[in-house]
Structure 1
């Protein structure tokens, strides 16, 4: 088990907890224009799952590039936080595949 595994396990548990709140709580009446597109949500979910499962296999440069693109592009909070934490973990622990 690599040194980054506890971080990925923690992030995975946090993601599962956040997903459970969707069913319990709603954020009022959603307007049609402000509803997220289902395909984007599925894409976001798949990307987050990929990063949680395999984030330790990416290099610091790859994570940095992905983080830069996300900050300039879609700016999805969950993806940004995950990429930032992966980046910090890889830089401070010196884990390179």
Structure 2
């Protein structure tokens, strides 16, 4: 006996419709965003820098790779990677400024 398909796959005429697919995910862009936010926090707060070290350089590298993946994945994670790149550079600038002034 054949297993029945869900009723949501049929339209009004009885034709089978494909199930909606999930959009592609860009994990590198998400990781770049998280690392960039932590890098900015580490630049501002010395206690965070003691725990995490400098995550600005990995944030920039992950963001660049995330942007390349976003082009390949039809724009998935483009904004996250771009914000990760900006926050990574900002965290790097803040960390260098605090290092040079102390």
Whether the TM-score (by the shorter chain) exceeds 0.5 is no
- Which protein, 1 or 2, shows the higher relative CO under an 8 Å CA cutoff with sep ≥ 6? 1
Q: Bigger radius of gyration, 1 or 2?
A: 2
Where is the helix percentage greater, Structure 1 or Structure 2? 1
* TM-score normalised by the chain length of structure 1: 0.31
